[in-house]
Structure formats: structure tokens, C-alpha cells
């Protein structure tokens, strides 16, 4: 996999929590997967965040365009890192990250007390909020390419088609899929490409429009999104 070069744009946030963090409560292994040139470098308190984190986070921030999705994802990562920096002593003492962050938030945000009658009234008026949406367990391999990089997208499409053809010919497509997950530009590759259970609205529209009509198993064709091409196993 290629390294980020100096052509990348650079977004930086200073250690005081300013910028995007303002307002925070105190089979084919010989193929090369190209990294999109538009993913920014992000530093928080002098720490450079792993670019893979941004590539993964972007998928959970549906937006009108790629720039807005990057902004939202970057802000979420910065806020989380600021919180992690604040709770590092607790983490060093053995408290897990999520618990430490939850405790920090509890210290700064007063608890809201509601009565049982208020809870029942809210439930009756908002029953739709308590209905479980359709969920799908999805694995994917992301071959990333910026939406404006026509040559890069063409190369990734060719690679996606080749990979998918080989996977469909495999005796065990899921096992073959797992062997190629290392090519993914998404950090989910460390978990076999697993995105977990996803519901409508959690990913970008062009991804979920295609994913939610798939049959169980390996998708017949790559799914194209603003982020590149996805090989999907449901």
C-alpha cells in the first residue's frame, strides 16, 4: 500500500481544543491500492491521527458532498481525541476508554430527571423511534479513490472487477474474501472487513441504496460510492 505523499491537503487542530473541537464539553496482493489524495492529515495536541481512522469515519457521516463528509468525520475524530487526552490518566489507571469518556461527560453535564409519566407520554408520542430499523451485517473491502480522480477511479474499478471475478470463482468466497481484506483502505480490515450491523442512514446514500437490496453472500458487482469501490459480502 502506498504512503501518503506531500500532495495531501493538511488540516491541523491545536492542542487547546480549538478549531473543529470548539464547543466540546470540557488475491491479488501484487496490486497497489492507491490512497485518495484528498484525505487530510489531522493533528490534535501534536499527535498525528492515523489516516485510516478518517477513511473509516467518513463512511458514517452522510453528506451532500465529499468535502462536507470529511469535515464532519474530522470533527468527530478531533472531539474524540480531545476527550481521550483529558481522560488519559484514568485510562492509564486501567479504566477502558468508553467508560472514562462517559465518566468525564457525566461530570460536566448534569443529569436530567424525568418522571415515569413523562416517559410514557414521550413513548406514546414517538413510537416510531422505538421500532428497530432493518439491519444488515456487512463486510467490505474499500478500494479508495477520490470522486474527482478519474484515472484513479478507473484503476480501482479495474482492480475491483478483477478481485470480484476471482472471489466468485473461489471454492469458498468468504474465505477468499478474508484473504484479500488487507487491500482495503478501511480500518475494518483488521476485523475481516466487518462493518457490523448497519441501518439506513448510517452510511452514504449511494452505498446503502445498493447494499439493502443485496442477497446474502458476495455481491455480484462492486458498489461505487464517492469514496471509491466496495467489494461487499452480506
How does DSSP classify residue 22? T
Residues 210, 200 contacting (CB under 8 angstroms) = no
Q: What distance in Å separates the CA atoms of residue 228 and residue 150, rounded to the nearest whole number?
A: 11
The pLDDT value recorded for residue 1 is 38
Length of the chain, in residues: 234
Residue 164 half-sphere exposure, CB side, CA atoms within 13 Å? 22
**Helices marked H in the chain:** 51-57, 66-86, 88-92, 97-108, 116-125, 150-169, 173-180, 205-211
Domains of the chain by residue range: 135-233
The pLDDT value recorded for residue 34 is 35
CA 120 vs CA 77, 112, 113, 117: distances in Å: 36, 16, 14, 5
Q: What distance in Å separates the CA atoms of residue 182 and residue 193, rounded to the nearest whole number?
A: 9
- In order along its 234 residues, the chain shows pLDDT tens digits of 333 333 333 343 333 333 343 344 443 333 333 334 456 778 888 888 877 788 888 888 888 888 888 889 889 999 989 999 999 999 999 999 899 999 998 888 887 889 999 999 999 999 888 887 788 899 999 999 998 999 999 999 999 999 999 999 999 999 999 999 999 999 899 999 999 888 888 899 999 999 999 999 999 999 999 999 999 999
Q: What distance in Å separates the CA atoms of residue 33 and residue 156, rounded to the nearest whole number?
A: 7
Query: Which 3 state secondary structure label does DSSP give 137?
Result: strand
What CATH architecture does domain 135-233 belong to?
Roll (3.10)
The pLDDT value recorded for residue 123 is 92
The pLDDT value recorded for residue 16 is 36
19: left (phi over 0), alpha (psi -120 to 50) or beta: left
How does DSSP classify residue 149? -
The pLDDT value recorded for residue 15 is 36
The pLDDT value recorded for residue 2 is 35
Burial class of residue 154, CB neighbours in 10 A (0-12, 13-18, 19+): exposed
Torsion of the alpha carbons at 231, 232, 233 and 234, rounded to the nearest 10: -170
φ/ψ of residue 231, rounded to 5: -95, 125
Query: Which 3 state secondary structure label does DSSP give 194?
Result: strand
The pLDDT value recorded for residue 38 is 54
Amino acid at each position: 500500500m502506498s504512503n501518503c505523499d506531500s500532495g495531501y491537503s493538511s488540516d491541523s487542530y491545536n492542542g487547546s481544543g480549538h478549531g473543529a473541537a470548539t464547543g466540546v464539553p470540557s488475491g491479488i496482493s501484487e496490486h497497489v491500492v492507491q490512497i485518495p489524495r484528498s484525505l487530510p492529515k489531522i493533528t490534535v495536541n501534536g499527535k498525528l491521527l492515523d489516516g485510516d481512522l478518517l477513511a473509516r469515519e467518513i463512511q458514517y457521516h452522510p453528506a451532500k458532498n465529499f468535502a462536507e463528509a470529511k469535515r464532519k468525520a474530522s470533527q468527530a475524530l478531533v472531539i474524540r481525541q480531545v476527550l481521550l487526552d483529558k481522560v488519559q490518566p484514568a485510562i492509564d489507571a486501567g479504566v477502558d476508554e468508553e467508560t472514562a469518556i462517559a465518566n468525564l461527560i457525566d461530570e460536566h453535564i448534569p443529569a436530567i430527571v424525568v418522571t415515569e409519566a413523562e416517559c410514557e407520554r414521550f413513548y406514546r408520542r414517538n413510537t416510531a423511534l422505538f421500532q428497530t430499523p432493518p439491519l444488515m451485517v456487512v463486510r467490505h473491502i474499500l478500494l479508495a479513490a477520490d470522486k474527482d480522480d478519474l484515472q484513479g477511479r478507473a484503476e480501482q474499478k479495474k482492480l475491483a472487477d478483477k478481485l470480484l471475478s476471482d472471489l466468485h470463482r473461489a471454492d469458498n468466497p468468504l474465505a477468499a474474501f478474508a484473504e484479500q481484506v488487507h487491500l482495503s483502505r478501511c480500518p475494518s480490515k483488521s476485523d475481516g472487513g466487518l462493518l457490523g450491523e448497519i441501518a439506513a442512514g448510517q452510511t452514504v446514500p449511494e452505498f446503502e441504496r445498493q447494499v439493502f437490496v443485496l442477497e446474502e453472500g458476495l455481491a455480484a458487482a462492486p458498489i461505487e460510492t464517492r469514496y471509491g469501490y466496495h467489494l461487499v459480502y452480506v
